[in-house]
C-alpha cells in the first residue's frame, strides 16, 4: 500500500469478478501491493479468501470466464494487463515461475523428471539438450537431491512427496526467474520436511535475489519467512506491513482474531480455551459493500456498512482497513 | 474386571506385518507397519500420537477400531482383550473421527440419516427416540436442529466435522480415535473444533487417542504423548515432559520443526539430512540413525532397548549410560 522503491511487481486496485449462476462473484476487490527484488511477501488468509486467484491473475493463468481489472499490473516495466498470450508465455516459466501445492498433481506422471525440468529451458533459451541436462543436474543438487544425474530418468511416482516438491522448486529456478510465486508449497508435507523445504526456498531466494510471493494459511510459516505480510479476508487485504509490525502489533480485528485461534507452544496455556472467530465468511455474490468482516467482528459498529478508510500505524508501511482508528472500538461508539 | 487403575485402553507388544510383493515374480517382502508397540491410555486421558507420514499412526488407529487385526500382541479395553469381543460391542465403546469431513460423510444421505445410522445398525430405540437422540447430539456439538434435513454438500468443512463428531458420540462411546481431525480445516474453524473436543471430553469423561502431525495442537490437547518412528514408539512421556524436555533426538527434531508465529526466528535447521527411510528395508540398528545428528557408533548395528524413565519410556542409545539414573527414578 505504500510505495516500494523500484518494485519488480506492482499491483494497484486488482479486481477479479467471476460470473456465477446468481450474478457475479466479486472474488478479489481492489487489492494493492508492491514487491521489490529479493523481497518475500506472504499473503495469508483462509480458504476462499482469493489468495490463489490473486497469484493466478499475476501469472495470467485465470480461467477465461474470470474478468480481471486493475489500475496497474506491472512486472519489471511490462504491463501485464496489455500482454497477450504470446508475451505471457515468454514470461511464464522464464522470468516468473510458480510452485504449486500438490507436487503429485502438478508434475506430469507420463514424463521423466529430466524431461519436465529441461522443458522450460529448451523453450525459452537457446541451449542444447546437453547443456539443459547439465543445468538440471546442477539445480537438483542445489535443492538437496542426492544422485541427481540418475533422478533425471525417473518418473514422479518414484519420488516421495518431499523430493517431488524439491523437483518443483528446481523446475521453477531453471531459467533464473526474477519472481517466484509459491502457492502453499509445504502444506501437503510433514513438519520436518516443511522446515527443510522452507529453509531451502529462503536460502535460494536470498542467494539469487529473487522476489517471492508465498501464499499460505499457516501463520507460523508467514512469521518465519516473510519480509512483508498481507492478510487477506474475503477478497480484500485487511492488513499489510512488515512481518515484525504485523505480528508485533496486529491491528485489524481479523488479524488479531486469527492469532488468538492458534495454540502457540510456550505461550498458550495447555488445555485452555482457544480464541475463535464466530460466524462464516460472507457471500461475495452480488453487491458487496462495507467491511467484509463486520458480520464476524467483535468491534463492529453501524459505520462498518459504509466506506472503510485505509489507516496507517505509526510505522507508515503498516496499514489496515478499519473504521476504528486503532482497530478497536474502545471508547468510541459501542455496537 | 476393571477398576480405577486399569487403563481403559492398552496395547501389549502389538505388531502388524504386511506381506507385499513388488512385481509378479519378485520375492515376497514383509513390511512392519507396527513394531512391538506397548501403550496405555488412562481413563479420561488424551494420548497424542505424533510422527511423520508413513510411521504407522493410522495403522495403529485401524487396529484399535478393529478394522485390522494385529499380527502379534493384543489390544485390551478395560482389561479385556479386544479379540474376544464382538465387533459390534467394540463399536459401542470405540468410535472414530477422521481427517477429511468431505470424504467421510455419505453425500447421498441427509445429516439425520448419517448421525442416526449407528443407532439403526445396533437397533437401539424406535424412530421417535432416534430422532430425539439426533436432536440432542446436534445441540451438544453446536449445530442447529434445522440441519437434520440438509446434505453434506450444503455444509462447510467445520460443520461437516461437527457432524462427524456427532455421529461418533451418538453411541456414547468411552474412547474416541481422532485421526487428524482438524488438518483439513481453516485455523478459525480448527480452534472451534479443538475447543469442542476439549469440552466434550470434560463433560462426558471421554478418552481420546489424538493422532496429528501438528505438534502445537497435540501439546494443547493431549495429556500424554507418544512419538512414533517407523512403526516403533521411540519416546513416550507426559505432555510437560515431552514438550519441555524432549530427550529423543527425533522428538527434539520434531519440536524444532514447529513454526511458532514469531518473526524474530527464522526457519529452523533440523539437521534431519536424509529423507524418511523405506519401511520395507528399514535401517539396521536404531531405525533413526541415518538421520540422527547425535548418532553413536553402536547406533547403526544394535537396536536400542526400551528404557523406563521417570515420566515414560525412551528407546535411544544416548541414554544407555545413564540408564541407572532414569530407570530407577
* Chain B residues touching residue A264 (CB < 8 angstroms): 216, 260-261
Q: Which chain A residues contact residue B240 at CB under 8 A? A: 270
Question: Would A326 be classed as within a structural domain?
Answer: no
β strands within B51-188, DSSP E: 72-77, 80-81, 94-97, 175-179
In a domain, A158, yes or no: yes
Which of A47, A192, A221 is nearest residue B52 as measured by Cβ atoms? Answer: A192
**What are the chain B neighbours of A46 within 8 Å (beta carbons)?**
186-188
Which residues in chain B have their CB less than 8 angstroms from residue A194's CB? Answer: 257, 259
**Which of B187, B254, B267 comes nearest A224 by C-beta?**
B267
A-B contacts at Cβ under 8 angstroms: 131
With respect to residue A117, please indicate whether it lies within any of the assigned structural domains: yes
Its domain, for residue A170, covers 96-174
- Please state, in angstroms and rounded to a whole number, the distance separating the CA atoms of residues A94 and A223: 29
Would A251 be classed as within a structural domain? no
- Model pLDDT, residue A219: 93
Q: What is the ipTM of this complex?
A: 0.84
Strand order in the sheet with B94-97: B94-97, B175-179, B207-211, B46-50, B224-229, B232-238, B313-315, B306-308
* Mean residue pLDDT across chain B: 88
Q: Nearest by CB to B261, which of A160, A193, A259?
A: A259
Residue B304: closest CA among B294, B246, B74 = B294
Chain A contact present for B242, CB below 8 A: no
3-state helix, strand, coil in chain A (%, to 5): 35, 20, 45
* Higher-scoring residue by pLDDT: B168, B185: B168
pLDDT, residue B4, reads: 57
Residue A137 covered by a domain: yes
Residue B327 has pLDDT above 50, yes or no: no
Whether A149 maps to a domain, the answer reads yes
Chain position carrying cell 478479489: A28
Q: Read off the pLDDT of residues B50-60 as tens digits, 9 standing for 90 and up.
A: 988 888 888 99
Query: CA of B239: which chain A residue's CA is closest?
Result: A270
Domain count, chain A: 1
Mean pLDDT of the region B131-138: 94
Contact A7, A28 (CB under 8 A): no
pLDDT at residue A333, rounded to an integer: 44
Q: Residue A145 domain-assigned? A: yes
Helices (H), chain A: 51-59, 85-91, 103-106, 113-124, 129-142, 148-151, 161-173, 191-208, 219-225, 243-248, 253-261
pLDDT of residue A32: 95
**Cβ <8 Å between B264 and A277:** no
Whether pLDDT at B328 is above 50: no
Taking only the tens place, the pLDDT of each residue in B38-88 is 999 999 999 999 988 888 888 999 898 888 889 999 999 888 888 777 778
A46 touches chain B (CB under 8 A): yes
**pLDDT below 70 — which residues of chain A?**
1-4, 103, 331-335
A138 inside domain: yes
Would the CB atoms of B258 and A191 count as touching at under 8 Å? yes
A162 lies within 8 A of chain B by CB: yes
Please give the share of chain B, as a percent, with pLDDT higher than 70.
95
Amino acid at each position: 500500500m505504500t510505495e516500494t522503491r523500484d518494485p519488480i511487481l506492482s499491483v494497484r486496485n486488482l479486481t477479479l469478478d467471476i460470473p456465477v449462476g446468481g450474478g457475479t462473484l466479486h472474488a478479489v476487490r481492489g487489492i494493492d501491493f508492491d514487491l521489490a527484488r529479493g523481497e518475500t511477501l506472504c499473503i495469508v488468509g483462509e480458504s476462499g479468501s482469493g489468495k490463489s486467484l490473486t497469484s493466478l491473475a499475476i501469472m495470467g493463468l485465470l480461467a477465461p470466464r474470470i474478468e480481471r481489472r486493475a489500475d496497474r499490473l506491472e512486472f519489471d516495466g511490462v504491463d501485464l494487463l496489455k500482454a497477450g498470450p504470446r508475451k505471457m508465455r515468454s514470461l511464464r516459466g522464464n522470468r516468473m515461475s510458480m510452485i504449486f501445492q500438490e507436487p503429485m498433481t502438478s508434475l506430469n506422471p507420463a514424463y521423466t523428471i529430466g524431461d519436465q525440468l529441461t522443458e522450460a529451458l529448451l523453450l525459452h533459451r537457446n541451449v542444447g539438450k546437453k547443456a539443459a541436462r547439465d543445468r538440471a543436474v546442477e539445480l537438483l543438487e542445489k535443492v538437496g537431491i542426492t544422485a541427481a544425474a540418475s533422478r533425471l530418468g525417473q518418473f514422479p511416482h518414484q519420488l516421495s512427496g518431499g523430493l517431488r516438491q524439491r523437483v518443483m522448486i528446481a523446475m521453477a529456478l531453471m531459467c533464473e526467474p526474477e519472481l517466484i510465486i509459491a502457492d502453499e508449497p509445504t502444506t501437503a508435507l510433514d513438519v520436518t520436511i516443511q522446515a527443510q523445504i522452507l529453509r531451502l526456498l529462503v536460502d535460494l531466494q536470498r542467494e539469487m535475489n529473487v522476489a517471492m510471493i508465498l501464499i499460505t494459511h499457516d501463520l507460523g510459516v508467514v512469521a518465519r519467512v516473510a519480509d512483508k505480510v498481507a492478510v487477506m479476508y474475503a477478497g480484500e487485504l485487511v492488513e499489510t506491513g512488515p512481518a515484525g509490525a504485523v505480528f508485533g502489533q496486529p491491528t485489524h480485528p481479523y488479524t488479531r482474531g486469527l492469532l488468538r485461534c492458534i495454540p502457540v507452544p510456550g505461550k498458550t496455556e495447555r488445555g485452555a480455551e482457544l480464541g475463535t472467530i464466530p460466524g462464516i465468511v460472507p457471500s461475495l455474490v452480488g453487491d458487496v459493500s462495507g467491511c467484509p468482516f463486520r458480520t464476524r467482528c467483535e468491534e463492529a459498529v453501524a459505520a462498518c456498512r459504509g466506506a472503510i478508510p485505509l489507516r496507517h500505524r505509526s510505522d507508515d508501511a503498516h496499514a489496515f482497513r478499519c473504521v476504528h482508528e486503532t482497530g478497536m472500538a474502545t471508547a468510541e461508539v459501542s455496537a | 474386571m476393571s477398576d480405577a487403575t486399569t487403563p481403559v485402553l492398552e496395547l501389549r507388544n502389538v505388531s502388524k506385518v504386511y506381506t507385499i510383493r513388488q512385481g509378479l515374480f519378485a520375492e515376497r517382502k514383509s513390511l512392519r507397519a507396527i513394531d512391538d508397540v506397548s501403550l496405555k491410555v488412562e481413563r479420561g486421558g488424551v494420548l497424542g500420537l505424533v510422527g511423520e507420514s508413513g510411521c504407522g499412526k493410522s495403522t495403529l488407529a485401524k487396529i484399535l477400531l478393529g478394522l485390522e487385526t494385529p499380527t502379534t500382541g493384543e489390544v485390551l479395553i478395560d482389561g479385556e482383550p479386544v479379540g474376544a469381543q464382538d465387533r459390534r460391542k467394540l463399536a459401542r465403546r470405540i468410535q472414530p473421527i477422521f481427517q477429511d469431513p468431505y470424504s467421510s460423510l455419505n453425500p447421498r444421505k441427509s445429516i439425520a440419516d448419517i448421525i442416526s445410522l449407528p443407532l439403526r445398525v445396533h437397533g437401539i430405540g424406535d424412530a421417535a427416540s432416534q430422532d430425539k437422540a439426533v436432536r440432542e447430539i446436534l445441540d451438544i456439538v453446536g449445530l442447529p436442529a434445522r440441519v437434520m434435513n440438509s446434505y453434506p454438500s450444503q455444509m462447510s468443512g467445520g460443520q461437516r466435522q461437527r457432524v462427524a463428531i456427532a455421529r461418533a458420540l451418538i453411541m456414547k462411546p468411552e474412547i474416541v480415535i481422532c485421526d487428524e481431525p482438524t488438518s483439513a480445516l481453516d485455523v478459525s474453524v480448527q480452534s472451534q473444533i479443538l475447543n469442542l473436543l476439549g469440552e466434550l471430553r470434560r463433560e462426558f469423561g471421554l478418552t481420546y487417542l489424538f493422532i496429528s502431525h501438528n505438534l502445537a495442537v497435540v501439546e494443547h490437547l493431549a495429556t500424554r504423548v507418544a512419538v512414533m518412528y517407523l512403526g516403533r514408539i521411540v519416546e513416550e512421556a507426559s505432555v510437560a515432559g515431552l514438550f519441555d524436555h524432549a530427550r529423543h533426538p527425533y522428538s527434539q527434531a520434531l519440536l524444532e520443526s514447529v513454526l511458532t508465529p514469531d518473526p524474530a526466528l527464522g526457519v529452523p535447521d533440523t539437521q534431519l539430512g536424509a529423507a524418511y527411510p523405506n519401511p520395507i528395508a528399514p535401517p539396521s540398528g536404531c531405525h533413526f540413525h541415518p538421520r540422527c545428528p547425535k548418532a553413536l557408533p553402536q547406533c547403526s548395528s544394535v537396536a536400542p532397548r526400551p528404557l523406563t524413565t521417570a515420566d515414560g519410556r525412551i528407546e535411544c542409545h544416548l541414554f544407555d549410560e545413564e540408564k541407572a539414573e532414569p530407570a530407577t527414578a
